[in-house]
Structure 1
Amino acid sequence: MGFLPLSLTLLLAATPIAVQEPPLQDKASPVLEQAMAPEAFEAVLLEGDIPALQLACADAVQFGLQERLRLLRNRLMEVAPAPQPFEVVMANAQALMQCKAPDSVPVVLARFGPAPGRQRREWLLLSWQAADAAFDQDRAVLALMRLVEGDRSRLEEERLIVGLDDEGQPQTRSALDLLAEHQIANGQESEAVLTLLAARTPGVAAARRLGLASELLGALEPERSGPLLEAALDQAAAAQAWNLAEDLLRLQLALELENGGSGDRPRERLRRLATRVDDRFTLLDLDRESSDLGSEERQQLDQELRSPRAPRGHAALGESRPSEVEAAVDPPQP
């Protein structure tokens, strides 16, 4: 399909939520004024324990010392050979993450078999973190599914750290959305649809997930795609998320055209909604696609589309009364 990158950006994007102290929170690396002296580095490399090696990794990362990173990674693979207790194995794996070596983390984690409970949860979360950093989609999917014992609906409430904001605070996303993205990246579109449909949260989140599921099914099972997209539009209208509703109507138009339809109904619905919310940008875009335009008219519209902050441009999107916009999203049938 030709629209997947757009949907991952617009339909599945979730606002990160800061949390106070999530599991496996990556502590911010210490900011150093200068790199570790060569003599000190040699001493740490030869005699340092895991915490000392992890600090040396942070130092090497901060100053871009690639040769030191290579030496530290090798040392971390040897410093605590199996068997080791849980705490040592986890510290060793986290130090490798600090050293930008996520591919090596599974080797270290395999040195300990966690029992059900807290240890297994932390072990699986670190497994996912390493797989995500290494772009190992298979391992990422496996870790998340094992985390909830195959019940993907439980992932909706799991919040996993995906980065830090400008103030160094952790940003999180729903593990359910992350699982769907891993499955899509791994070519498992059917599994991704099942994951998205396992969610229960209504509103904007549901609209995005249903929209993405509809797009994935557009190629696999077009007959199921339409009803899911209509359900997504209902959720967007109920939440008064008009920008999202427009995105969903654009997707509906693209899917209908891709499947050989005329696109007249979604195009008209999009035009009606754009008119109600004063979205001049979308109206200009729809006019630009009209085959009736002459070259001068098309050139003028192209110029207007390049100026979204002009009066009545894209950046000036307004809101109309909810009842009016709901009618635009789902106009009465003749």
Structure 2
Amino acid sequence: MGIHSLPLTVLLLAAVSQAAPLNSATDPLAPAREPMAELVYRQVLLDGAIPELNTACADAALFGLNLRLQELRNRLIDIAPAPQPFEVVIANAEALMVCKAPASTQTVLSRISPAPGSQRRAWLLLSWQAANASLDHAQAALALRRLANGDLTVLNFEQLTVGYGADGLPLTRAALDLLVEHELALDRSDEAVMVLLAGRERGALGARRLALAAELLQGLGNDQHSTLLESALDQAAADQAWGLAEDLLRLQLKLDLAAGGDGLRPRQRLERLANRLDDRYTLWELVRGDLDQQEAATLLEQELRSPRQPGGHAAVEAHQSAPPVSVPSEFK
């Protein structure tokens, strides 16, 4: 019996079984120890449908077989010419992603444009994934904006997978923050600010977004950055995020000086908060360049200990994990 007389699914199972024999100590989901046999691969490339080609792509990607990957990509881009049902297009596009061909994935996805509903959502998410992998920021931003459908706030609740941890679990980020990064990569700071302000998130995350919006607005010559930073400081204080509060005050000091101010108020507020937290590293940063405070700077430098000891520059981190403390009135 020749190899071409066997069903492809049987051949694929046989190839995996031969590559990684299973026993009670073997995880059946563990990757094969050997790549797909050449004869099996050749028949898949010649006669395989999209699912079999997807399996071959995963195998070639796992073992870094670049020639096979290229051959499989070429096959996948031509296997299902338009028009095709939605399910076929999506399966084709997903197989190309497995084959590490995000640009070709975008080409296949462009063959359809589903109507609003679950199919359009799946299409847009895969479109973003392909554009993001291709570093095609314009198309990635477009996909997310289409997903928002005119309401950017919904992106705050849309968690997208951006990678996988060492434990194999997905790493996710809010689509809103990803859209901000795409807009910044496109040098569209004004658009990024609008997205950040649409987040309407409270706590430390909201404060970080407002801080970034304030910095971008200052770069755009907009005087609203002071108001945004004050709002961010209020949120950081309410969340007991004192390390973030210090970062925000540093940013406020930087922006004030850049605008031609003396930076006196944010400097004083930062100093009071650092004293409250016993953050001697920040206090040293504030006085080290002041010729009138060289004695204090030298003393603080001598007192600085290991970051993990009291008084060191990890004091703020300790405060963040400690029980809530009241906000000093002078910080306000």
Pair 1:144-2:144 in alignment: yes
Give the distance between the partners of 1:283 and 1:301, measured in 2 at CA: 10
Pair 1:269-2:273 in alignment: no
Tell whether the 8 Å contact from 1:288 to 1:302 is kept in structure 2 after alignment.
Answer: no
1:68 corresponds to which residue? 68
Q: Secondary structure at the match of 2:171?
A: strand
1:245 corresponds to which residue? 245
1:315 corresponds to which residue? 314
Tell whether the 8 Å contact from 2:277 to 2:315 is kept in structure 1 after alignment.
Answer: no
Tell whether the 8 Å contact from 2:58 to 2:99 is kept in structure 1 after alignment.
Answer: yes
Query: Counterpart of 2:198 in structure 1: which amino acid?
Result: A
Tell whether the 8 Å contact from 1:276 to 1:324 is kept in structure 2 after alignment.
Answer: no
**Residues 68-118 of structure 1: CA deviation (Å, up to 9, x unaligned):** 211111111111111111111001111111111111111101222212211
Tell whether the 8 Å contact from 2:60 to 2:69 is kept in structure 1 after alignment.
Answer: yes
Tell whether the 8 Å contact from 2:273 to 2:331 is kept in structure 1 after alignment.
Answer: yes
Q: Secondary structure at the match of 1:325?
A: coil
1:24 corresponds to which residue? none
4+ long deviations beyond 6 Å:
297-300
Change (3 A) 1:202 1:96: same
Tell whether the 8 Å contact from 1:102 to 1:131 is kept in structure 2 after alignment.
Answer: yes
Query: Counterpart of 1:65 in structure 2: which amino acid?
Result: L
Give the distance between the partners of 2:182 and 2:167, measured in 1 at CA: 28
Give the distance between the partners of 2:158 and 2:315, measured in 1 at CA: 36
Q: Which runs of structure 2 are paired with 1:119-268 in the superposition (5 Å)?
A: 119-268=119-268
Q: Secondary structure at the match of 1:111?
A: coil
Q: Which runs of structure 2 are paired with 1:293-304 in the superposition (5 Å)?
A: 301=301, 304=304
Query: Counterpart of 1:235 in structure 2: which amino acid?
Result: Q
Tell whether the 8 Å contact from 1:30 to 1:58 is kept in structure 2 after alignment.
Answer: no
Q: Which stretch of structure 1 is more off in the superposition, 185-194 or 144-153? A: 144-153
Query: 1:275 deviation in Å?
Result: 1.3
Query: 1:139 deviation in Å?
Result: 0.5
Give the distance between the partners of 1:288 and 1:234, measured in 2 at CA: 28
Query: 1:172 deviation in Å?
Result: 2.0
Change (3 A) 1:300 1:208: closer
Higher RCO (Cα < 8 Å, 6 or more apart): 1
Change (3 A) 1:321 1:109: closer
Q: Secondary structure at the match of 1:255?
A: helix
Give TM-score scaled by structure 1 length.
0.83
2:96 corresponds to which residue? 96
1:108 corresponds to which residue? 108
Q: How many corresponding residue pairs? A: 301
**Residues 254-306 of structure 1: CA deviation (Å, up to 9, x unaligned):** 111222222222122111111111222222222323334669x669939958x
Pair 1:290-2:290 in alignment: yes
Structure 1 vs Structure 2 CA RMSD:
2.5
Query: 1:188 deviation in Å?
Result: 0.9
- Unaligned ranges ≥5, structure 1: 1-28
Q: Secondary structure at the match of 1:31?
A: coil
- Unaligned ranges ≥5, structure 2: 1-28
Tell whether the 8 Å contact from 2:287 to 2:294 is kept in structure 1 after alignment.
Answer: no
Pair 1:329-2:331 in alignment: yes
1:4 corresponds to which residue? none
Q: Which stretch of structure 1 is more off in the superposition, 281-290 or 245-254? A: 281-290
- Give percent identity, aligned residues only: 55
Give the distance between the partners of 2:100 and 2:289, measured in 1 at CA: 47
Change (3 A) 1:33 1:58: same
**Residues 201-257 of structure 1: CA deviation (Å, up to 9, x unaligned):** 322222111111101001113411111011100111111111111111111111112
Query: 1:40 deviation in Å?
Result: 2.0
**Residues 169-215 of structure 1: CA deviation (Å, up to 9, x unaligned):** 22322211111111111111111111111122322222111111101
Query: Counterpart of 2:286 in structure 1: which amino acid?
Result: L
Change (3 A) 1:51 1:264: same
Query: 1:166 deviation in Å?
Result: 2.7
Q: Which stretch of structure 1 is more off in the superposition, 314-323 or 249-258? A: 314-323
Give TM-score scaled by structure 2 length.
0.83
Query: Counterpart of 1:173 in structure 2: which amino acid?
Result: R
Query: Counterpart of 2:146 in structure 1: which amino acid?
Result: R
Give the distance between the partners of 2:330 and 2:161, measured in 1 at CA: 38
Give the distance between the partners of 2:72 and 2:122, measured in 1 at CA: 24
Query: 1:308 deviation in Å?
Result: 2.7
Q: Secondary structure at the match of 1:256?
A: helix
Change (3 A) 1:115 1:37: same
Change (3 A) 1:33 1:259: same
Q: Which stretch of structure 1 is more off in the superposition, 233-242 or 167-176? A: 167-176
Tell whether the 8 Å contact from 1:276 to 1:328 is kept in structure 2 after alignment.
Answer: no
Pair 1:86-2:82 in alignment: no
Tell whether the 8 Å contact from 2:240 to 2:325 is kept in structure 1 after alignment.
Answer: no
